[in-house]
Amino acid sequence: NAGVTQTPKFRVLKTGQSMTLLCAQDMNHEYMYWYRQDPGMGLRLIHYSVGEGTTAKGEVPDGYNVSRLKKQNFLLGLESAAPSQTSVYFCASSFSRGGLTDTQYFGPGTRLTVL
């Protein structure tokens, strides 16, 4: 049981380049989330999904797109990277059926630098 995994762990992009971050979970969780963590800002929700084939916007969705084609995977895309998207990106998942199933499990993060 690997939990939540993220690929890649590190990446350096040039302004205008595109990339996709992959999140995978093997816990059969319905809900998946993408957050970014910046110094002095805390973690902020980018997008989330409540099940296969669904996505919704979070607090800071601009410049990002997401897809949930399979229940176990949640992809975060940057179409045209900007220096303001330099951050650490975390994926999380949960059952979210009430009570302790709401506990979110986080991946190890992807450190992205945009030059």
Partner 1 sequence: KQEVTQIPAALSVPEGENLVLNCSFTDSAIYNLQWFRQDPGKGLTSLLLIQSSQREQTSGRLNASLDKSSGRSTLYIAASQPGDSATYLCAVKGGGADGLTFGKGTHLIIQP
Nearest distance from C-beta of residue 16 to partner 1, angstroms: 28
| 66 in Cβ contact with 74 (< 8 Å) | yes
Nearer to partner 1, 16 or 26 (CB): 26
Contacts of 26 (CB under 8 A, 6+ apart): 1, 2, 3, 72
Q: What is the DSSP string of 90-103?
A: EEEEE--SSGGGG-
The neighbour count for residue 42, using CB atoms within 10 Å, is 9
Select the span of 12-20, 29-37, 61-69, 73-81 touching partner 1 (CB under 8 A). Answer: 29-37
- Name which position in 12, 27, 41, 82 contacts partner 1 (CB under 8 A): 41
Residue ranges in contact with partner 1 by CB under 8 A: 4, 31, 33, 35, 40-45, 48, 50, 56, 58-59, 90, 92, 96, 99-100, 102-109
